[in-house]
Amino acid sequence: MTTTATAPDPRPDLLDLEPDAALSVLRAWFAERGEPAYRATQVLGRLWQKPVADFSEMSELPKALRDALGEAFRLTNLELATQQTSKDGTRKFLFRLEDGQFIETVAIPDGDRLTFCISSQAGCALQCAFCATGAMGFQRNLRPSEIAGQVRALRMLEPPLIPTNIVFMGMGEPLMNWKAVSPTLTLLNDPRALGIGARHITISTVGVLPGIQALAERPEQFRLAISIHAPSDELRRSLMPVNIKYPLADVIEAAKAFDRRVTFEYVMLGGVNDQPEHAAQLGQLARECRAFVNLIPLHPGGSMGFVPTAQPVIASFARALRDRGVETAVRRSRGLDIAAACGQLRTERVGRRLPVTPQHDGEIHVAQ
């Protein structure tokens, strides 16, 4: 018995379009039907600001128009497969995509702040030794409707979750999906869409140099965090194979050239990168770039065989950096009682799938 693959939906997805493009398409569509241009603004408002799952729910439009919109366009909706809530208030969501892939989103409350940690790829090609997402391999890039759509989906919960901050620190390397991440940044920031301030949106990267340059060329003040995790090439290569293509010295030069202050992310691995000599080396690198250092205790749930650094050692490491004039923070561990490590919930739900080789399917979109 043979099975026939489902044909792709030919209707354009309005959620993949930046606001200017969506308005242009909608105005032309409404004009063809003799409808006023303001109808386009009405529809755009229900995509992001007061989102609905389907055109049929846009009650401000006549039913005939709602039906016609549904025939002409589509809206990608993420299916909430499962969620977990920590006793500290952290919530982790696992979304099922239309093709059966799964991605994760984490909502982290902290006083009057609510930070969403969002995914940019299903899986990841980079195979960092300590990361559960890297161990599952790369499956595919996400579209803007699936990246910004994570924020949209959480806004449609009852009660809605409205973020103050966004960090691209979920599954995947965002700067290896720049083709989709760049328009997503517009959707997140544009007041006609999600309206989150640029300084409240952080892109985290292992140091994909063309992507850092592309981000620097955007006029908005988006923030950049670089996952350093080791202060020398030899150690970094053993933990992060990407260091072969983008050596630490080149990453540091890119951080120096970036026109905004950069954060260095540094996960603390017991007995691996947490010794006094590592603090001295990291302090030198951070001072060269005037970087802020964020020390991250390893989440034991996704540790991939590594051991978390003891808290007194982390405190000593932080003091050593501060003594060298480096502004340093220790991230407070969140969601320790749930599968909050990156990729952990997805792996628990569906196991590990055979990864796709990105070079073969052309799915990696580094900025050119």
At residue 303, the pLDDT reads 57
Task: Point out the least confidently predicted range of 104-118, 124-138, 232-246.
Answer: 124-138
User: How many CB atoms lie under 10 A from the CB of residue 10?
Assistant: 6
At residue 357, the pLDDT reads 45
* Helix, strand, coil percentages in the chain from 3-state DSSP, rounded to 5: 40, 20, 40
| Crossing angle of the two packed helices 144-155 and 178-189, in degrees rounded to 10 | 30
Place of tokens 């009405």: 42
| Rounded Cα gap, residues 368 and 365, in angstroms | 8
Q: Three-state SS string across 29-73, please?
A: HHHHCCCCCHHHHHHHHHHCCCCCCCHHHCCCCCHHHHHHHHHHC
- Any idea which residues carry the catalytic annotation? 104, 342
Task: Point out the least confidently predicted range of 188-197, 278-287, 355-364.
Answer: 355-364
* One-letter amino acid of 285: L
Q: Is the pLDDT of residue 319 over 50?
A: yes
Place of tokens 């952290």: 90
pLDDT by residue (tens digit) across 250-274?
999 999 999 999 999 999 999 999 9
At residue 350, the pLDDT reads 52
At residue 8, the pLDDT reads 79
At residue 352, the pLDDT reads 47
At residue 175, the pLDDT reads 97
CATH 3.40.50.1000 is held by the domain 14-72: no
CATH 3.20.20.70 is held by the domain 79-361: yes
At residue 3, the pLDDT reads 43
Sign of the dihedral through C-alpha 122, 125, 126, 129: positive
Per-domain residue ranges of the chain: 14-72, 79-361
| Rounded Cα gap, residues 20 and 30, in angstroms | 15
Task: Point out the least confidently predicted range of 90-94, 234-238, 255-259, 340-344.
Answer: 340-344
